[in-house]
Amino acid sequence: AANQYSTVPLKLWGPGTKDASGNFVLNGLTPASPAGGNFIAADGAFGEAPIQQTITGLTVGSTAKVSFYYAGAQQFGYDGTTTDAWSVTLGNQTVKTDVLPNVSHGFTGWKQATLSFVVTNATEVLSFLAVGTPAGVPPFSLLDDVSISQVAQVPEPTSLALLGVFLGGTGWVARRHRHRQRRQAA
């Protein structure tokens, strides 16, 4: 992958890499993502900055579901265990994925996540921030196939029950009032 800090391409431990004994590292990492294409790898402990996109056309009060695949890997040439995760923000709400522990030269395998956010504005910024430990052992959080969908808010069952009691009570009071008016007219 391209590397902004060097002319040497960034590599992760996995296919095509050999350990100190000259053995190929077969940790399960494949060049393609679960969706079959490229994926993003972000160091969660060095030069952290979120990956952001502005989302428009949202419905205030709806639930936005953000789905994606994520995994953990380690930069080639480094040793030691790491942890990897993502901190996902939509507007002013942040939800974190599960933390994935990773062995030295390892790959955690892909996980799918769906996170829910309540929409507070028609336009929100969606951001992903890689989170990893320890610094200097390059923990890389991988990200792929991000999608967002909206689900309309459905009233809670207790709210519906209270509404039913209110409407039923209103109907009973109106009926009683009409009955009283008929008796007085007769």
By C-alpha distance, which of 55, 144, 131 is closest to 96? Answer: 131
Beta bridge partners of 149: 65
Q: Provide the whole-model pTM.
A: 0.78
* DSSP states along 141-154: EEEEEEEEEEE---
pLDDT score for 172 = 46
Residue 119 scores a pLDDT above 50: yes
pLDDT score for 157 = 61
pLDDT score for 170 = 47
pLDDT score for 13 = 93
Residue 39 scores a pLDDT above 80: yes
Tokens of 112: 């799918």
At 173, the pLDDT band (50, 70, 90 cuts) reads: very low
Bridge-based pairing state of the strands 93-96 and 51-55 = unpaired
pLDDT score for 30 = 87
The mean pLDDT value of the chain amounts to 85
